[in-house]
Amino acid sequence: MKNKLIATEFLMVGSGNIALQHIDAIISYKKNSKVHLLKRSRGVANIRVQNACETVSSDIHNFIPLTTKSVAIITSPASKHIDDAIILAKKGFHLLIEKPLMISRKGYQILINITNKKLLCTHVAYNLRFNNLIINLKKIIDSNKHGRIINVDISITSNFKKWRPNKKYYETVSSQKKFGGGVINELSHDFDYMLYLFGKPIAVTSELSFTRDKRIDVETKSINRFRYKDFVINLCQNMCSDKEERKCIVDFEKAKIVLDFNKSKICIIKDQKKKYIINKDTMASTYKNQFDYFMKCIKSKSKSSMDIRDNKLLFKTLNSVKLSHKNSKEIRI
């Protein structure tokens, strides 16, 4: 028996913590929205996710869209994103897909062809772009008022063992290659906003590190040097750190900009004076702003700025990082 979706209904694929963020965004968009859940895993679903959904099924074929505005939010493991998206696109769902979009290009062009033919809106959920800190930094960079960029340092440190406290860390998607885990994919937000703010790099030199824990078969640390025409970006990630930090520091000719996500502020240092831009956004608000934006794209039949077609450069960048480490040399992007 197939579950028909009414105009205000949404299909949630996956029942982890990230699904809850999207459900809260849907409810914020429209309080009476009905969400249906596709849950395949044998584990216990997030209770709040399951309670928020009208029905739960383990079969993706049980769901069909009733209107041209029905939406599927895909939060399954990254290794399943493209396969799930192809099935749901064939049915006529608009697609909001969690990051990263894919871990290989298999099926990618097929998905593009289907969504083109059916005129479907797609969006890859790099929600940090909807954080006002990033929006303000983008305006500062584009204004050119501080002169040319000299150097950029991007850093993110966290402890993936604490991300899903109800699961054994070595059984989570973050720690397993087959699910698309590893620091590069899990923390790919930083690569995405790097490309958004500074454009395409010329080349990258990368070094990846692996933990001694044999139950984890993915990289847990990356050190990357991106070469641009007039400056360099150093991007460092560590998902086995006890320190929680996410920063982007931009050195201009006439000023220094320090964006601190954890402290929710931007510090502009110029002429030995400091000026602060305080951000009142929460992580939840970035998901809400993202979802509102996606629904506007659907209603206006316009292309999202984070459409799946625009993901080619990010995928190539992430792949170049891995190739650089594997071959111990700089890789052109």
Tell me the pLDDT tens digit for each residue of 209-266.
Answer: 999 999 999 999 999 999 999 999 999 999 999 999 999 999 999 999 999 999 999 9
The answer on 110 and 159 residing in a single domain is no
Q: Which of 43, 63, 233, 40 is nearest to 153 (CA)?
A: 233
Lowest-pLDDT range, 66-70, 136-140, 265-269, 287-291?
Answer: 66-70
The answer on 169 and 102 residing in a single domain is no
> Is 59 within the bounds of a domain?
yes
Radius of gyration of the chain (CA): 20
Q: Summarize the confidence of residues 278-298 as an average pLDDT.
A: 94
The answer on 82 and 50 residing in a single domain is yes
The answer on 151 and 108 residing in a single domain is no
The answer on 246 and 146 residing in a single domain is yes
Q: Which of 201, 203, 215, 108 is nearest to 161 (CA)?
A: 215
Instruction: Answer with the one of 96, 120, 144 that is the final residue of a domain.
Output: 120
39 pLDDT band, cuts 50/70/90, is confident
More confident position, 327 or 64: 327
The answer on 159 and 25 residing in a single domain is no
What is the percentage of the chain residues whose pLDDT exceeds 70? 96
Sign of CA dihedral 244, 246, 251, 256: negative
Answer left, alpha or beta for residue 156, where phi above 0 means left and psi between -120 and 50 means alpha. beta
Q: Summarize the confidence of residues 25-48 as an average pLDDT.
A: 81
For the chain, what is the domain count? 2
Using omega within 30 degrees of 0 as the cis cutoff, is the peptide bond preceding 77 cis?
A: no
Q: Is the pLDDT of residue 183 over 60?
A: yes
Question: What pairs with residue 38 in β-bridges?
Answer: 13, 57
Q: Summarize the confidence of residues 51-72 as an average pLDDT.
A: 85
> Is 306 within the bounds of a domain?
no
The answer on 163 and 36 residing in a single domain is no
The answer on 268 and 152 residing in a single domain is yes
Query: What is the domain range of residue 170?
Result: 129-281+314-332
Model pLDDT, residue 9: 78
> Is 302 within the bounds of a domain?
no
3-state helix, strand, coil in the chain (%, to 5): 40, 30, 30
Model confidence over 109-136: pLDDT tens digits? 999 999 999 999 999 999 999 999 999 9
At residue 17, what is the residue type? N
The CATH code of the domain that includes 15 is 3.40.50.720
User: Are 252 and 146 spatial neighbours (Cβ–Cβ below 8 Å)?
Assistant: yes
> Is 298 within the bounds of a domain?
no
> Is 287 within the bounds of a domain?
no
Model pLDDT, residue 285: 95
Backbone angles phi, psi at 99, to 5 degrees: -80, 155
* Other CB atoms within 10 Å distance of the CB of residue 202: 11
The CATH code of the domain that includes 161 is 3.30.360.10
Instruction: Answer with the one of 120, 151, 166 that is the final residue of a domain.
Output: 120
322 pLDDT band, cuts 50/70/90, is very high
What is the percentage of the chain residues whose pLDDT exceeds 90? 79
Model pLDDT, residue 34: 84
Q: Is the pLDDT of residue 7 over 50?
A: no
The answer on 274 and 205 residing in a single domain is yes
Lowest-pLDDT range, 9-18, 146-155, 187-196?
Answer: 9-18
Model confidence over 88-104: pLDDT tens digits? 999 999 999 999 999 99
Q: Is the pLDDT of residue 202 over 80?
A: yes
**Cβ neighbours for 245, distance < 8 A, ≥ 6 positions apart:** 155, 156, 157, 158, 262
Q: Is the pLDDT of residue 6 over 80?
A: no
165 pLDDT band, cuts 50/70/90, is confident
Answer left, alpha or beta for residue 199, where phi above 0 means left and psi between -120 and 50 means alpha. left
> Is 308 within the bounds of a domain?
no
The answer on 69 and 50 residing in a single domain is yes
Q: Summarize the confidence of residues 70-77 as an average pLDDT.
A: 95
Q: Is the pLDDT of residue 188 over 60?
A: yes
> Is 202 within the bounds of a domain?
yes
- Residue 125 CA to residue 95 CA, distance in Å, equals 10
Per the prediction, the chain carries an average pLDDT of 92
> Is 38 within the bounds of a domain?
yes
Model pLDDT, residue 8: 47
User: Are 288 and 302 spatial neighbours (Cβ–Cβ below 8 Å)?
Assistant: no
At residue 148, what is the residue type? R
SS3 274: strand
The answer on 253 and 105 residing in a single domain is no
Q: Summarize the confidence of residues 59-75 as an average pLDDT.
A: 89
The answer on 137 and 113 residing in a single domain is no
Instruction: Answer with the one of 90, 120, 150 that is the final residue of a domain.
Output: 120
